Structures are given as structure tokens and as C-alpha cells.
Amino acid sequence: MEMSGNTVLITGGATGIGYAMAELFLAAGNEVIICGRREERLIAAQRVHPELHVRISNVAKEGDRRKLAEWVTTTFGKLNILVNNAGVQRDIDFTKGIAEYLAGENEIAINLEAPVILSGLFIPLLTGKKGAAIINVSSGLGFVPAARMPVYSATKAGIHAFSLALRHQLAKTGIKVFEVVPPAVDTELNAEGRAQRGNFKADLKPAEYVASVMKAFENDVFEIGYGMTEGLIKASRPDLDKSFQQMNSRW
């Protein structure tokens, strides 16, 4: 991927991995647009980087997705990279039935449906553009599910499958499809669940992690693992089963 001269939309770009990506794309000489639900976080990001373009948008809502696509098409017709990064993660205990699932945010709408629909909405704009790309952020848990996060894991497995299929479909259009597979990174993701687990904090900082991801983009590595997820991407089924047992031994 050419690392400068692009126009990049990053969903969920005001915090964590998306924000680190926004900063590095800006530093490399790209126009960057970020969106998210919390205005204050978008404004805080823009205060640090006044050149950032921001938009309030809830990618779980069909109307917001369409308005985002219309606004970007009208205002940033040069857009050539879509980053499907926005995500939420929840601990859900199905031994209690459906109650916990229904009581919180809709991971399927945010983590899986939104990237699918946004890809479909933006592909006409990306088609024919130099350096066109769709970047989907999945997770190591899409390869080895965490029992305490069953729906999250399923959405990320879905993103992996979607990315593989989309890469194949879009090859003839020239749109490259990348899948970023983060390991545990120190962000605000699932703060509630992490607090319940004794405020578990990953050592890896978003800026350090994303610096490595940017090198992979530059080298056209289409499935981007890091540390533990590097191994998971290449693991055999017996290895994946072993990782599953290790990760979920206490559930």
C-alpha cells in the first residue's frame, strides 16, 4: 500500500487502535476522517490534531451508516481507504439464558453488520481509485474464541471470513482487503469486563502496536498478526484446539 496521499475514513477513530492509526496516517501525509458516537472524544482528538475531520456517527444504525456514506461521498470524494475499526466487546453469560445478551450493546450490529454494510456502501466510491483499500479489524478471538465473550468472538470470526471472501471478490476491482488481527492492546475496550477481572491491563500500547501494523500495510501483508495472533493466523486445527483449552480453562 502507498502510505501517503490517501484519504482515509476510520470508524471508531477517536480512541485506542483507531486513534493510533489516525495519528500515524496523518503523520505519513494522508487526509484522515474519523467517526464515533461520543462527540467529546471526537473533539478531543481534533484538539490534538486540528487537521483531523470528525463526524458523529453510530455505525450500528442503518440511517447513520447511509448518512456517513453520503456525507463522505459529497465532502471527500477522493476517499480511497475505509477502515472498519469501531467495535465493542462484552462478557455475556448464556448459562443465564438471553437476559445478559439483551441487556447491553449489540455486538453483532457494531462489529459485524456495520463493516459488511459500510463496505458495500463505500465500494462504489473506492472502485477505480489508486491505492483503494478496505481494512477490517478482527481479533485473535476470531481464531480462538473466548468462552466469556461468545458473541464478540463470533463477530470477529465473521469478520475474518468476510475479509477472506471480500478480498477474493474484489481482486478484480483493484480494491485491496486487509485484515488486522490485534492481540490484547491497552485500550478502553470492554472496560467493564476488564474491571471484573481485576483491572486486567495489556502491556502493549496502541501506538507501538499500530506502528507495526503500518509497516505491514506498506508491505501488502493482507492478514496482519502480531505476537500471539501471528501464531494463531498460521495455526493448525489441533493447535487452535489447544489454545482454546488453555484460554478457557477457568470458564
Ligand X SMILES: NC(=O)c1ccc[n+]([C@@H]2O[C@H](COP(=O)([O-])OP(=O)(O)OC[C@H]3O[C@@H](n4cnc5c(N)ncnc54)[C@H](OP(=O)(O)O)[C@@H]3O)[C@@H](O)[C@H]2O)c1
Residue ranges binding ligand X (CB under 6 A): 11-12, 14-18, 36-38, 41, 57-60, 85-89, 110, 137, 139, 182, 184-185, 187-189, 202
Cα separation, 184 vs 58, in Å, equals 24
Contact of 37 with 58, CB cutoff 8 Å: yes
Could you tell me the smallest distance in angstroms from the CB atom of residue 174 to ligand X? 26
Could you tell me the smallest distance in angstroms from the CB atom of residue 128 to ligand X? 27
CA atoms within 13 A on the CB side of 193: 17
In the numeric block, which cell numbers belong to residue 164? Answer: 477472506
Nearer to ligand X, 119 or 187 (CB): 187
Could you tell me the smallest distance in angstroms from the CB atom of residue 40 to ligand X? 9
DSSP 91-156: ---GGGTTHHHHHS--HIIIIIIHHHHHHHHHHHHHTT-TT-EEEEE--GGGTS--TTSHHHHHHH
Nearer to ligand X, 171 or 195 (CB): 195
Q: What is the dihedral of CA 194, 236, 142, 150, to 10 degrees?
A: -70
Contact of 149 with 94, CB cutoff 8 Å: no
Return the active site residues.
152
Nearer to ligand X, 51 or 188 (CB): 188
**Residue 219, amino acid:** N
Nearer to ligand X, 65 or 129 (CB): 65
Could you tell me the smallest distance in angstroms from the CB atom of residue 157 to ligand X? 12
Cα separation, 100 vs 189, in Å, equals 18
**Chain residue whose CB lies nearest ligand X:** 16
Could you tell me the smallest distance in angstroms from the CB atom of residue 89 to ligand X? 6
Nearer to ligand X, 76 or 174 (CB): 76
In the numeric block, which cell numbers belong to residue 58? Answer: 453510530
